[in-house]
Amino acid sequence: MSRLAGPLVALAIASGVALLAPVPLAGQAPPSAKTGTPSRTPDGQPDLQGIWTNATLTPLERPAELAGREFYTEQELAEIEKRAQEKPRSPESAGTVAHYDFAQYGLDPNQAKRASNRRTSLIVDPPDGKIPPLTPEGRKRAAERAEARKRSGPFDGPETRPLGERCIWMAGEGPPMLPEAYNANIQIQQGPGYVAILQEEIHDVRIIPLDGRPHVGRKIRLWMGDPRGRWEGNTLVVDTTNFTDRTNFRGSSENLHVIERFTRTAEDTILYEFTVEDPATWARSWKAELPMVKTQGPIFEYACHEGNYGMANILRGARAQEQAAEEAAKAKK
Amino acid sequence: MRARLGVVAAIAGLLLAGAPAWAHHAFAAEFDANKPLKLHGVVTKWELINPHSWINLDVKSADGKVTGWMVEGGSPNALFRLGFTKDSLPPGTEIIVEGFQSKDGTNRAVGANLTFTDGRKLFLGSSAPGSNPDRPSLTPPKDPGKN
């Protein structure tokens, strides 16, 4: 009983407050296109709820050929999207070895809904659309990590395999969030005092408190960092620190600081912006933005560990190859 | 003209670079590109599990010996969004899979493509580029393999 009372009281109070706001009470009401005022959740937060996709054709960094050009023209964009549709990815075009027929298996990014974006790069600052150069310390760290990977022997055991293969974390989860190759779907759910963000791949939910509490102590390190949210007008600002260096973002250290901004710019669009700073890695902070558009749900469960036959197959494959090499060596003698 | 060439080059770049299309694990970590194979068999079980689906099938050789195989496929999430249901590939369906065997040499493989005995591709028919999850569900083939 007492477990229910708190949220119910909070809901009742929040509903009362929301009644005073000059926007429709119903959480599902669309934002007014004229004023840009988003609808509100029952407790009065600007409503970001729903299932979204951040799939995009736009690369994080600006291609060298487009130096100096921040935007495509509408005509160029139309051409790019048309070509992308006409040329489904295949093993050959992706430059990989034998692989799935991506379209057949639902893995072709062209099969996913995505937002149009005239930008030539997701990075908007620095103005050249490129990640700033690594500091000497950042370069040293990158070299050390590469060296450590060599020493550990990548197929020795699950611990030395990539986090994605281990079902622990995919790079696109971040934060900052960048689209996964497929399943680039994100669900946002809001409750009194919290925002929860679920990424379909690889099933992690970030639960973000909005009450202004400080970050956890410096010694506590989390795979996806320690997020704290606040509202600046209609924009949700999420400040994340306390990362572990195991999930480094583009070579960052554990002192990475990520600031994300979510703004509902239309009924079916959220503008997602992020700024990353890590003086131990980059000489300056940098910023990117991309639209997230509404997509059809539901999000399907990504119970990755339970079905991860791949890990056992991978390790067994490595053992089989070692054995074959040993036998070949013996046969030579 | 120069700018136009740049755009074309950028498009090519987008198509080539992209994200690693097999995000959960690299193909080469689990399978051997030097061991291509073609399996003609009957589905015994379809495991719709993440991070990859697995089709179990019985393959009968010329001498009548039946061997069980497991073939890795796309993520259920991706398949569902193409309109799949758990009934799309029922046990007893006769299929032909072209793919690549696992590195450990066991009866596991990755499917590169999958066809019914009458030549229909299993998934391709409803996965036109640009399609989205609004398309109707796929129904199982009318006449699944009998043997």
Angle value at C-alpha B6, between B5 and B8, nearest 5 degrees: 65
**What percent of chain A stands above pLDDT 90?**
57
Cβ contacts (< 8 Å) between B80 and chain A: which residues?
Answer: 300
pLDDT at A148 over 60: yes
Touching B: A residues 178-207, CB under 8 Å:
179-183, 185, 200-202
Asked if A98's CB is within 8 angstroms of B100's CB, the reply is yes
- Dihedral sign computed on CA atoms, order A138, A144, A146, A149: negative
Touching B: A residues 226-265, CB under 8 Å:
none
Cβ contacts (< 8 Å) between A187 and chain B: which residues?
Answer: none
Residue of chain A whose Cα is closest to the Cα of B123:
A104
Asked if residues B77 and A200 have their Cβ atoms less than 8 Å apart, the reply is yes
Cβ contacts (< 8 Å) between A80 and chain B: which residues?
Answer: 7, 10-11, 14
Please, which residues have CB within 8 angstroms of residue B12's CB and are 6 or more apart in sequence? Answer: none
pLDDT at A323 over 90: yes
Query: Best residue in B103, B110, B134 to probe A by mutation, most A CBs within 10 Å?
Result: B103
pLDDT (0 to 100) of residue A276: 98
Asked if residues A292 and A176 have their Cβ atoms less than 8 Å apart, the reply is no
Select the residue of A57, A104, A185 nearest B121 (Cβ to Cβ).
A104
**What confidence tens digit (pLDDT) does each residue in A216-272 have?**
999 999 999 999 999 999 999 999 999 998 888 999 999 999 999 999 999 999 999
Which of the 8 DSSP states describes residue A126? S
Q: Which mean pLDDT values do the consecutive 10-residue runs of chain B (147 residues) have? A: 43 35 67 88 93 92 94 82 79 91 92 81 44 35 35
- Return the closest-CA partner of residue A250 out of A176, A158, A199: A176
pLDDT, greater one: A117 or A243: A243
pLDDT (0 to 100) of residue B2: 45
Asked if A79's CB is within 8 angstroms of B7's CB, the reply is yes
Cis peptide before A154 (omega within 30 of 0): no
ipTM above 0.90, yes or no: no
Asked if B21's CB is within 8 angstroms of A99's CB, the reply is yes
DSSP assignments along A161-219, one per residue: S-TTTTTS--GGGSSSP---SS--EEEEEEETTEEEEEETTT--EEEEE-S-PPPPPTT
Q: Rounded to an integer, what distance in angstroms lies between the CA atom of residue A214 and that of residue A302?
A: 31
pLDDT, greater one: A13 or A258: A258
pLDDT at A99 over 90: no
Compute the average pLDDT of residues A298-307.
Answer: 85
**What percent of chain A stands above pLDDT 70?**
80
pLDDT (0 to 100) of residue A153: 67
Q: Does B12 touch chain A (CB under 8 A)?
A: no
Asked if residues B111 and A91 have their Cβ atoms less than 8 Å apart, the reply is no
B143: number of Cβ within 10 Å:
11
pLDDT (0 to 100) of residue B13: 36
The whole model's pTM is what?
0.78
pLDDT (0 to 100) of residue B145: 35
Touching A: B residues 65-94, CB under 8 Å:
70, 72-82
pLDDT confidence tier of residue A112, bands split at 50, 70 and 90: low
Q: Rounded to an integer, what distance in angstroms lies between the CA atom of residue A70 and that of residue A268?
A: 24
pLDDT confidence tier of residue A104, bands split at 50, 70 and 90: low
Compute the average pLDDT of residues A12-28.
Answer: 34
Asked if A95's CB is within 8 angstroms of B77's CB, the reply is no
Touching A: B residues 92-131, CB under 8 Å:
100, 102-106, 108, 110-114, 121-124, 127, 129-131
pLDDT at A198 over 80: yes
pLDDT at A7 over 90: no
- Return the closest-CA partner of residue A118 out of A161, A65, A70, A165: A70
Q: Rounded to an integer, what distance in angstroms lies between the CA atom of residue A169 and that of residue A332?
A: 43
Our measurement of the distance from residue A203's CA atom to the centroid of its chain's CA atoms, rounded to an integer in Å, reads 12
Select the residue of A95, A110, A181 nearest B130 (Cβ to Cβ).
A110
